[in-house]
Amino acid sequence: MAEPCRRSQPDAAIPVWIGLMVSSRTHPDRSCAATAAAQHGVLNPVQARAAGVSDKARRYRRSTGRFERLLPTIDKLGGAVETWEQLVVAALLWAGAGAAASHRCAGALWGFDGCPRGPVDITTPRNLRSQEAAHIVIHRYDRLLDAEISTLGPIDLTAPARTLLDLAAVVPVARLEIAMDSALRRRLVTLPDLRLTLSRNARRGRRGVRRFRAALAVRDDSYVPTHSPLERKLARLIEQADLPDPLRQYPVIENGREVYRIDFAYPDQMLAIEVDGWEHHSDRISWSKDRRRGNVLTMRGWRVLHFTYEDVTKNPLGVIQAIREALFLTL
């Protein structure tokens, strides 16, 4: 009599260690996704090959839309949301070792005032040229010092002091000073940091050095950085008008307690100058609170001049004339 057919027992037929190997093996697409997730959705060929995707397989994934070509050799995962940071990471992966986001791009990454997101500037030791990378501004430099490079997440970028020096070569002096005050106020840099960066990089013919040196020269150890771009604009107007230098962020103290801080003050003349901008107040309540606090100055004998963004940017002569008249009433 024939033996009954027995159903095979795969668990007994396959060694346990082989089953564990198969179950723990990561699919190449999953590995690529993990790598790209840490880099704003992009990866380069070396990373793709390390994940198990050959160059041929990468081209196939491009043809099916699973990969999308961003730059020569750089892909983003299909469906990944396009962001400015993604373009920055892609540019650095394309540029290779030694590259760093710099100039306006680094200023935006650090959050300097006056540095909105825009051009993707990178500094690299390589000679890179490509019509397919038209949105990237390439700055050729032999080598950045280790102390001149920082990291924010997956992005290598120039350190704050070096960023300010580079900015001096590509932005007007007014924007440079706004960015410099922002970095000083947030303690991303110190004046000694800036002086050291200047001494390391100052050389004849280097763009921006003269502008950077001039901005640094008026910032001695007693310098108090302005609190907003609008304050910096007014400070520059006062400097250019050859008016007496006011004290910035002047504290009004009563009974050992600070009751107010004045944007620009001439204490001998009891003249306070305040700049009012909606963009520098979180909401209408905060703005109204500041105005009520301003009344404190008036009750204590201060004369207060208020200027808005429109005043400073569209009527600078009127602003200077008002300050001059207020000063000369008591000088």
* 61-76: average pLDDT: 92
Q: What is the pLDDT of residue 280?
A: 45
Cα gap 166→110, rounded to integer Å: 14
Q: Average pLDDT of the chain?
A: 85
Cα gap 209→231, rounded to integer Å: 25
Q: What is the pLDDT of residue 1?
A: 44
Residues of the chain with pLDDT > 90, as a percent, come to 60
What is the set of domains in the chain, with CATH numbers?
Answer: 28-80 (no CATH), 85-217 (no CATH), 229-328 (3.40.960.10)
Count of other CB atoms within 10 angstroms of residue 244? 11
- pLDDT tens digit sequence for 121-162: 999 998 887 777 888 999 998 789 999 999 999 999 999 999
* 217-232: average pLDDT: 88
Q: In terms of pLDDT, which residue wins out, 213 or 204?
A: 213
- pLDDT tens digit sequence for 96-122: 999 999 999 999 999 999 999 999 999
CB 102 within 8 A of CB 158: yes
Q: What is the pLDDT of residue 37?
A: 92
Collapsing DSSP to helix, strand or coil, 116 comes out as: coil
- pLDDT tens digit sequence for 37-54: 999 999 999 999 999 999
Phi-psi region of 40 (alpha: psi -120 to 50; beta: other; left: phi over 0): left
Model pTM?
Answer: 0.75
CB 145 within 8 A of CB 88: no
